[in-house]
A and B are shown apart, each in its own frame.
Chain A
Amino acid sequence: MKRQMTGAKMIVQALIDQGVDTVFGYPGGAVLPIYDEVFQQNSIKHILVRHEQGAVHAAEGYARSTGKPGVVLVTSGPGATNAVTGLTDALMDSIPIIVLTGQVPTFMIGSDAFQEADTVGITRPCTKHNWLVKETDRLAATIHEAFHVATAGRPGPVLVDIPKDVQFATGTYAPPSPSASHYQPKVKGDLEEITELVAAIEKAKRPVFYTGGGVINSGPGASQLLRELVEATGFPITSTLMGLGAYPASGDKWLGMLGMHGLYEANMTMHGCDLLINIGARFDDRITGVVDMFSPKSKKAHIDIDASSINKVIRVDIPILGDVGHVLEDLLKIWKSRGRKTDKEALGKWWSQINEWRQMDCLKFKQTGNTIKPQYALDRLEALTKDHDRYICTEVGQHQMWAAQYMGFEDPNRWMTSGGLGTMGYGFPASIGVQMAHPEALVINVAGEASWLMNMQEMGTAVQYNLPVKQFILNNERLGMVRQWQELLHGERYSQSWSEALPDFVKLAEAFGAKGILCQDPADLDDAIMEMLNHDGPVIFDCVVEKHENCYPMIPSGKAHNEMIMGENVDTQMAIDKDGAVLV
């Protein structure tokens, strides 16, 4: 039904018609008419963040934990520029986000007006698409298109820039119509290629599934189909950081995460396999190690919805362009109709080889002495929370890798971490977004003290909305991953990788009106974690850990999957050669 209304009212109406229940935002001069409409309605809850970067990460957390797009509303100029890191983060990790920015009125654009920035220019390379709306009559259709573009195909962030006069003016509102867009990505895979993959599956002697965030993004149905496929074929499965939870960590075919800090068995399986089936991953450099030596003996298949991901880094033999869910459905159908064949004898041998690799027990550690090992802290956190309805966020660094290694994910959409961009400061606001979407769930942000401080202002948000997010800070008073690389690569010259003048986290929590817990003794850890879990409200948990612990296993940069270095017997000075040193 078409109706006349102001641009500002249209924006709120369009959000309601798109099924939005939560908006993360921060007001300012160029969005005042929209905030006036937000004030006069009850359908959409607005969460006032403390910094626009926090709004975008919160929306990402909301999106990743629900599968629905996250929505952000910020003002012009600094409001928009502060959103840039979040947009780039969402672009790298393919997270559907709609960011609405205010803009100076159309007649002032280009005059260097107060709080004017070329928002569409600045955000062009960090959005999937963006629009500047200059006519109120175009506003509703543009917002509906923005939701379509953000969620269709490979998801991503979009931005709609709306000048203030367009918000005040009256125009015609039209509800969403799905067929309106010319952007209709193909979701069904080519059946010939899928059949070729089935034939490869039937013959494979040393296969492996290598799965990624594309499985999660394809929806819960895709994870279900993946589980069916893994169980039916009996093939081993590993996953990228982004794909954790698509296949349950408790499953017996699970090898753990692969890549730079992946598990020994996962990387050795990748290196030794004869059929590599990439499902919704993108051969990121954290996964492949040095490209020339990546999985040298395998036939490679790649299922991806984005044509540009295929053959970008690694040349594949069987490219399948399509949505993971649709392709897996067809793949299972064809494989079953051909008699559910696999080479069981070869598979048996392959598994005994893999089980040998598993004997390496690459995540083993010894908790001795009076200092908490970070691995131990996460091991205990995992043990005491795994039976909860639980969501885990992380910041970026060593703690993030340890969380991926030591925590088990049984379901998709339970793990929120900045993979592609590696954004310190992501986890705390993301945990706020997750908790908004799942008010009754246990939401934990595993953090390092340095990352956490980057968006600590969001304590105000957590307290204002009484969001019981648990900030589990592994405090080593170091930028741990930077320090680790300086040890491996720069002669132990620890340039600027100290966290000096750290706050007293307990007092900091109290200053915000939240609870703080300090734990320094391994003997107290379980009780302290239980105290955190039993507190109904936001908690900062300051877990003081071993300062010089390194994160292993590790594929040093410039090396291949079979050249991992392990926790013990490391000659750290020789780990990375000159060619590897230029890599990040």
Chain B
Amino acid sequence: MSALKIKKGATSHSAYNLRPNFSDVIERHTLAVLVENEPGVLARVIGLFSGRGYNIDSLTVAEVDHTGHLSRITIVTSGTPQVIEQIKAQLGRIIAVHDVHDLTVEGASVERELAMFKVAGKGDNRVEALRLADIFRANVVDSTLESFVFEITGAPDKIDAFADLMRPLGLIEVARTGVAALQRGD
């Protein structure tokens, strides 16, 4: 069974794949959770995190296989290695969960997030915002004489960086989708 095809109840979670010693260092992990697309499934996953006191840094969910009724939840979470292993094992216990992948340890992966920024300003600020948007390959999806809405995709770091640059130029509103992630290669 390859690392990518972790089946429920398989020997992959907390019991195995242990690094030599649990450390106290907080790690950030991206988990891809394949779930049955049924009512309440998101509440089960979120309830697990709140009920057991785990962190959610980002969460996205959408149906990915209409005929198979499967949705993919991408969760970015942080915790000590022991907590991360617990999170994966606890997710694996949920009956509606088919697969749990830890993209952070299962080889290289790509992460993308889409965000929209509303920036209001006049004169130099407006020109500067447009110039920076070009550098970041952000698109203008709406414009008035006094504002832009930029659309940008990229890794979360890039979006954070863009937000930092826009703030002094008149950033007034942000909407982010949260992270979607896939394993590289096949």
Residues on A lying within 8 angstroms of B by beta carbon are: 120-121, 124-125, 128-129, 132, 149, 153, 182-186, 190, 302, 306-308, 310-312, 315, 319-321
Contacts and interface: CB of A to CB of B under 8 A. Distances in A.
B95 A307 contact: no
Contacts of A320: 15
A308 B43 contact: no
Most buried by B among A129, A183, A311, A315: A311
Most buried by A among B10, B11, B36: B11
Contacts of B95: 128-129, 149, 183
B130 to A, nearest CB: 47
Contact of A307 (B13, B40, B96): B13
Given A132-B39, A185-B9, A308-B92, A125 B86 contact: no
B8 interface: yes
B22 A315 contact: yes
A320 B89 CA distance: 14
A306 B8 contact: no
Given A121-B43, A124-B44, A307-B9, 12 more contacts: A124-B47, A125-B51, A128-B95, A129-B96, A306-B93, A307-B93, A308-B89, A311-B14, A311-B18, A312-B14, A319-B15, A321-B16
A320 B11 CA distance: 9
A185 B97 CA distance: 12
Interface residues of B, number: 28
A308 B18 contact: no
Nearest to B18: A311
B16 A319 contact: yes
B8 A321 contact: no
Interface in B89-114: 89-90, 92-96, 98
Given A128-B95, A315-B22, A321-B15, A184 B9 contact: yes
A190 B11 CA distance: 8
A121 B39 CA distance: 11
Nearest to B85: A311
Contacts of A121: 40, 43
Contacts of A129: 94-96
Contacts of A186: 9-11
Nearest to A145: B95
Given A124-B44, A308-B89, A311-B18, A183 B13 contact: no
B92 to A, nearest CB: 6
A149 B8 CA distance: 13
B183 interface: no
10 contacts: A121-B40, A121-B43, A186-B9, A306-B89, A308-B90, A310-B89, A311-B14, A311-B15, A311-B85, A320-B15
A91 to B, nearest CB: 11
B4 to A, nearest CB: 18
B147 interface: no
A306 B91 CA distance: 12
B82 interface: yes
Nearest to B90: A308
A184 to B, nearest CB: 7
A186 B16 CA distance: 15
A183 B44 CA distance: 16
A160 to B, nearest CB: 13
A120 B15 contact: no
Given A308-B14, A315-B22, A321-B15, A153 B9 contact: yes
Contacts of B94: 129
Contacts of B9: 153, 184-186, 307, 321
Interface in B64-82: 82
Contacts of B11: 186, 190, 321
Contacts of A307: 9, 13-15, 89, 92-93
